[in-house]
Structure 1
């Protein structure tokens, strides 16, 4: 998020404003996100580079539809998207992600890849797992030397922090057998795409058996 953007938490919604400009002795408003509708209204004169950051930040709130959001230090909260809205289910989020893949979003190139609709929908799927299961576990299939020592499967504390090079899949719970399969594939001498694709296929079969799903990033 650009440091020039001020984010204000108010009773009706979230205000994004420009710290570098003042109107009537207050920061100039750039955009407003309504709690009730989760509609983001970006002002026509909002600079494009700031609008991109605002849209990406607002997506983190929009994916929490139907969940409580604390708006004051005394514990007062609102239901994002209205009290009657339900959180996204895993099934709903999977359909949205598959629609992005089918629409060719994996081919989109952008200077702001984190605001790509495909990436937002992968984050939404992770949030849906947290909604339904109380936790979401992320994992890597390709193990690189520079990532040695990092977890292979780890619990995700915040879906908005999942970035382009983060995770290959999401699970409802940790699975030791899956981790052994991933490590085993990494330690197996490479003999060609045919043999390797069988190992990768077995890994994804295990992910599916566990109720998990692959993630896609641009």
Structure 2
């Protein structure tokens, strides 16, 4: 409590908190898109539960990582080099997560283009196996996004209470937005392909970051926002043409 009271009276701490909350929410978009697409592959009765478990695991993982901040900071230390380029555990985690994300998004795009090829489904088998597989994949990506999120938080503020509040606020936003986003994606098939393209771009960005090529997040999210805006305009145009067609008939 003695550490928290000075922070409550410090305007700089409040500014840091607001900035970090916004940053964590933006970083959580990647996680949320993956969870939404993956849970939409489950039977309807399992989707809500899977989303809550997936986002709950994201919160638990982020808070657990915050409890080991000293260890998290060490993840950025080089552990080996290839052609004089150093790689840290953070780089390895980002590369592995990026490869996994690219692989899963590519498989799902293939399934959407050729829906008769059920072998390429993201998660297959019975409902029970599907649910377990979905949670396992969500957990894996939660780890990747959580490490990236916490390292970003550590770089923005040295105060652990601010990090905890920002993470809880960001995950709460994810929890509130998860079902509406998943339902919107399911109702609009073209949005599914756009979201999968986002996952491909995010996966590629993670790989590039792990290889030492810094990609400004602002450029990535600006591209995503522009693409989403274009798709919204296309949807409005399609709906207007459909209403005009229905009115004539």
Q: Shorter-normalised TM-score: what interval?
A: under 0.3
Is the strand fraction higher in 1 or 2? 1
TM-score (norm 2): 0.21
By percentage of residues, which structure has more helix?
Answer: 2
Output the TM-score relative to the length of structure 1: 0.23
Higher RCO, Cα 8 Å, sep 6+: 2
